């Protein structure tokens, strides 16, 4: 088993800047878009984060740097990386490469949506799932994908230990079609018991929009802030 990655927690004055740099990077790349978008919960959101638009080597490499910086500063320790199908696969692979470049070489695995009935077979690809597993994804909307990953990891005899995401929408989750007081991230933290860290949060996006003049986005701050007033959650 890998010895894992373990970093001492400490105050890092660059952390707030990291979130702002990430938001700027996502806006400039068209990954963070503004307008009117329907969410899984049926809400009309004034912004949309589409990690699939980190669609070339330079963007994906830069994204992996953001993931690695936030993760290594978080104090979260883990033994291997798991990328849930589908978006988590390239994200997890890119993060594994970046961590290795920084001197933290850890195993990586991912899953298929459908089991393969030839070759090696099964739904898991890559390193055997073992030890403390870090799940990598883009955003967390309802926590459904995380629960599925946890079940898969536990069946393999490993421990789902933590999740790293690109953006925390800090938004009320829904259960049975109704809004609840907690976000998906809070649910994963407090109910499922996993540590979660995000490169940036909705608060960071609002700070960026408030302090930067972005062409064509003059009303974006007011629209996102109004949306947060309706669907935002209290606390981190």
- Annotated binding residues, written as ranges, equal 40, 48-49, 86-87, 112-113, 116, 118, 137-145, 169
Helix (H) / strand (E) element for 214: namely none
Name the H helices within 102-166: 144-155
Residue numbers belonging to the annotated binding site for orotate: 48-49, 141, 169
Q: Which of 116, 201, 207, 212 is catalytic?
A: 116
Strands of the chain (E only): list them. 32-38, 44-49, 80-83, 108-116, 122-126, 132-136, 159-168, 172-175, 178-183, 195-201
Residue numbers belonging to the annotated binding site for 5-phospho-alpha-D-ribose 1-diphosphate: 40, 86-87, 112-113, 116, 118, 137-145
* Whether residue 212 lies in the annotated active site: no
Peptide bond into 49 cis (omega under 30): no
Q: Which of 8, 104, 118, 212 is catalytic?
A: 118
102 secondary structure, DSSP code:
T
* Whether residue 190 lies in the annotated active site: no
CA distances from 120 to 111, 115, 116, 128, 154 (A): 13, 10, 8, 13, 20
Distance CA 206, CA 222 (A): 9
Would you call 81 exposed, middle or buried from its count of C-beta atoms within 10 A (0-12, 13-18, 19+)?
buried
Question: Is residue 112 a contact partner of residue 85, using CB atoms and an 8 Å limit?
Answer: yes
Catalytic positions are 116, 118
């Amino acid at each position: 088993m890998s010895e894992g990655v373990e970093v001492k927690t400490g105050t890092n004055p660059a952390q707030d800047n990291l979130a702002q740099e990430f938001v700027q990077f996502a806006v400039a790349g068209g990954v963070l878009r503004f307008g009117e978008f329907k969410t899984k919960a049926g809400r009309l959101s004034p912004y949309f984060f589409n990690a699939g638009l980190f669609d070339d080597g330079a963007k994906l490499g830069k994204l992996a740097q953001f993931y690695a910086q936030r993760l290594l500063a978080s104090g979260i320790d883990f033994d291997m990386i798991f990328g849930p199908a589908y978006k988590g696969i390239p994200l997890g692979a890119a993060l594994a490469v970046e961590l290795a470049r920084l001197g933290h070489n850890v195993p990586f695995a991912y899953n298929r949506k459908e089991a393969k009935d030839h070759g090696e077979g099964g739904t898991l690809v890559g390193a055997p799932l073992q030890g403390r597993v870090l799940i990598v994804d883009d955003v967390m909307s309802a926590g459904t994908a995380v629960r599925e990953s946890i079940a898969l990891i536990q069946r393999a005899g490993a421990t789902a230990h933590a999740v790293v995401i690109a953006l925390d929408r800090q938004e009320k989750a829904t259960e049975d079609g109704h809004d609840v007081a907690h976000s998906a991230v809070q649910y994963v933290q407090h109910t499922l018991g996993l540590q979660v860290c995000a490169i940036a949060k909705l608060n960071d996006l609002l700070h960026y929009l408030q302090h930067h003049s972005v062409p064509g986005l003059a009303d974006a701050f007011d629209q996102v802030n109004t949306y947060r007033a309706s669907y935002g959650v209290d606390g981190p």
